[in-house]
Structure formats: structure tokens, C-alpha cells
Chain A
Amino acid sequence: NAGVTQTPKFRVLKTGQSMTLLCAQDMNHEYMYWYRQDPGMGLRLIHYSVGEGTTAKGEVPDGYNVSRLKKQNFLLGLESAAPSQTSVYFCASSPGQRDGYTFGSGTRLTVV
């Protein structure tokens, strides 16, 4: 049972480039989330989804877009990368609204 799988694990982008981070879960969870983790700031929610075909904004959504075309996948897109988006990105999923999250192992993104 793989749990939550994130790809890629590392990426370096130039300012203005675009990319998509993929998150896949095999636990049939309804809820999926994208967080970013920065030193001293904990985990901040970017976007989330409460089911297939739904998405919603979190605390820091600017500069990011998401899609949940299939229940098991949640994609995070950066249309025009900026140095401020240098961070570690974590995807998570949960069965319901007030259940524990299962996190992926993260994607370390550097924008130069």
C-alpha cells in the first residue's frame, strides 16, 4: 500500500517557467490538500479538494492552480514560477473532514 505518492521529489525552475506537481493516493480518500512548508512558518494550505471534480482555495493560493479530475490524483500547477515559491510542497489526503491526514514525502522546489 503506497499511501500518498508525490512526483517529482526535487525540481529546479527558472523564474517564469511552469510546472505541475503530481499527487496520487491509493486509499480512496475523498479529501486532498496541497501545503507548502517554509522555515519558521509551519505548513500553510495552498488549495484543497473535498472530492473528485472539486477544488477550493486555502490560505496562500496566489500563483497556483489545481485540478482533481480523478479521485486519486490532485495536481498542483505553477503557471509562472517566482523565487517566492521556493519551498517544500506536501500533498496530503484524508477520508473525511475531521480525520487524520496522510502526507506524501514532499517535493523540494527551488526557483532561481
Chain B
Amino acid sequence: EVQLVESGGGLVQPGRSLRLSCTGSGFIFGDYAMSWVRQAPGKGLEWVAFIRRNAFGGTTEYAASVKGRFTISRDDYKGVAYMQMNSLTAEDTAVYFCTRVGDGYAIFLPDYWGQGTLVSVSS
């Protein structure tokens, strides 16, 4: 069974940093791209970041709202994806979901999701 478990969320002051982790199991972690999607309170979902599998260079992509502040990375030996979040603002307050990105579709898409971890940015 595919499982994704996020951790690292919490309350942080504006301007500070936080690192989220996502531990995957039930699949060969290195065979998949990974992404992060967030959901602000009472709002819809927003794609945040994407990392290709290392066989495709492990390159990354970011939403304009976080580019230059957030960094997605991966450790395939540990089966973990990370997101380093710097210069946080109140607008970053959200539940952050880790997703596996499947490629057995017309176009790759997030096919499995974790339950999310809450990040609250407030003084």
C-alpha cells in the first residue's frame, strides 16, 4: 500500500524558516517524481513545487508564489522528500500535502497524497 507521511509543520514567525519532510513507503521511491501541494484555510488547493526523479536529473519546478523562497529536494536512499521554506509570510499558512507523481497517465499527475501537515505563520 502506498503511504506518504508528512512531518515538520508547526507555528513559525514571519520571516523565519521551516523544513517539511515526506516519507514514502509501499513503492520504489526513486522511480517517481514528487511534489508538494498546499491548501490555505478555507481555500482550494495550490501546486507549490515539483522534483523529477534522479533518472531525469532530479530537476525542480516551483510556483511563482514560492520561487526563490522554497526548495524541494529528495533523498532516495531514505525514501524522503523535503521542502525547505524560507522567508515565510502569513500567506504561506496552509496545510501542506506531499504527493507522489505518477507517469502512467496521459500527462503525469499527483496520484497518491499524504494527509498533510499544517504550517501556521504568525507572530
Same complex origin of A and B: no
A residues apposed to B, CB below 8 Å: none
